[in-house]
């Protein structure tokens, strides 16, 4: 009785899991060197809601290395700081990181949806890189030669790819990290933040304006 032909397995040098700023940047770096890369993201597109808001000078150097410094700088607020006000609206402190040790402002404001879209669009010019949005990693198997990565799309389609390396860029709740039983150390602030991007704001200040409510100020 004839046997079924084995499923064709696509081969890559690197599989990146997670198309946030880290995964997208890495894909662009690998694309510069024609490394065969597959970028997998479970969401259907890059983020559309506000998230991270600050980019530093070293990150802008990285954008420069992949040819995106001019495009990124055109969409950020360069060299912004923070002004701290008391409840009586008295400015009692200013933080102004405006030096240029690495050729760029030490701190700039950006919108993560814009940056991710710029990084994603740049990959169109990296023919060695393949993007697969709306795709989840459902399993990993590693041997001495490669990693087999099981994938699934929202409509239930399943397939498998192999790679020399898998890079986990899938965030703080990384499924890859959990699958490999890699723990996390350190601590974080026990408070919640709300980030809102305002369209049409009349405030043209170049920094954050923070009002503090401590009774001693």
On whether the pTM is more than 0.75, the answer is: yes
Q: Can you tell me whether residue 132 is helix, strand or coil?
A: strand
DSSP state of 118: H
The pLDDT-based confidence of 8 (bands split at 50, 70, 90) is low
pLDDT of residue 38: 98
Q: What is the DSSP letter of 199?
A: S
pLDDT for 185: 82
Q: Is residue 55 part of a domain?
A: yes
Q: Which of 77-91, 151-165, 178-192 has the lowest mean pLDDT?
A: 178-192
- Give the C-alpha separation, 28 to 107, whole Å: 23
Q: In this structure, is residue 90 part of a structural domain?
A: no
CA dihedral over 16, 22, 26, 28, signed as positive or negative: positive
Band of pLDDT at residue 158, cut at 50, 70 and 90: very high
Distance in angstroms (rounded) separating the CA atoms of residues 196 and 43: 21
Q: Quick one: pLDDT at residue 98?
A: 76
The mean pLDDT value of the chain amounts to: 88
Torsion angle in degrees (nearest 10) through CA of 130, 133, 134, 139: 50
Instruction: For residue 198, name the pLDDT band (cuts at 50, 70, 90).
Output: confident
Please count the structural domains in the chain. Answer: 1
Flag whether 124 is in a domain: yes
Alpha carbon dihedral 129, 125, 110, 134, in 10-degree steps, equals -40
* Within-domain flag for 208: no
Report the C-alpha gap between 212 and 209 in whole angstroms.
10
Query: Which of 83-87, 157-161, 186-190 has the least mean pLDDT?
Result: 186-190
Domain containing 60 equals 10-79+98-182+189-197
The DSSP string of 67-85 is T-HHHHHTTSBTT--EEEE
Which pLDDT tens digit goes with each residue over 72-117?
A: 999 998 888 888 888 888 999 988 887 888 899 999 999 999 999 9
Percentage of the chain exceeding pLDDT 90: 57
Whether the CB-CB separation of 43 and 131 falls below 8 Å is answered with no
User: Domain for residue 165, yes or no?
Assistant: yes
Q: Give 162: exposed, middle or buried? Use CB within 10 Å, 0-12, 13-18, 19+.
A: middle
Q: Which CATH number covers residue 35?
A: 3.50.50.60
Residues 128 and 36 sit within 8 Å (Cβ to Cβ): yes
Domain-located, residue 210: no
Does residue 214 sit within a domain?
Answer: no
- Contact of 30 with 130, CB cutoff 8 Å: no
Query: Would you put residue 18 in left (φ > 0), alpha (ψ -120 to 50) or beta?
Result: left
Q: Is residue 132 part of a domain?
A: yes
Phi, psi (degrees; rounded to nearest 5) at 65: -65, -25
Is the pLDDT confidence value at 216 over 70?
A: no
pLDDT in tens, 49-71: 988 889 999 999 999 999 999 99
Question: What integer pLDDT is reported at residue 39 of this predicted model?
Answer: 98
């Amino acid at each position: 009785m004839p046997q079924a032909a084995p499923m064709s397995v696509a081969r890559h040098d690197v599989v990146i899991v997670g198309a946030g700023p880290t995964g997208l940047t890495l894909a662009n770096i690998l694309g510069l060197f024609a490394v065969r890369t597959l970028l997998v993201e479970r969401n259907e597109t890059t983020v559309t809601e506000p998230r991270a808001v600050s980019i530093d000078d070293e990150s802008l150097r990285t954008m420069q290395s992949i040819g995106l410094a001019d495009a990124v700088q055109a969409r950020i607020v360069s060299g912004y700081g923070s002004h701290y006000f008391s409840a009586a609206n008295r400015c009692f402190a200013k933080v102004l990181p405006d030096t240029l040790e690495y050729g760029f402002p030490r701190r700039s404001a950006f919108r993560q949806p814009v940056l991710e879209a710029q990084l994603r669009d740049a990959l169109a010019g990296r023919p060695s890189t393949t993007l697969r949005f709306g795709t989840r990693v459902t399993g990993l198997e590693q041997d001495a030669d490669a990693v087999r990565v099981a994938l699934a799309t929202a409509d239930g389609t399943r397939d498998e790819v192999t790679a020399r390396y898998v890079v986990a860029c899938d965030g703080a709740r990384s499924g890859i990290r959990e699958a490999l039983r890699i723990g996390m150390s350190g601590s974080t602030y026990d408070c919640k933040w709300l980030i809102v991007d305002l369209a049409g704001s009349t405030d043209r200040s170049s920094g954050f304006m923070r009002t503090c409510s401590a009774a001693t100020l």
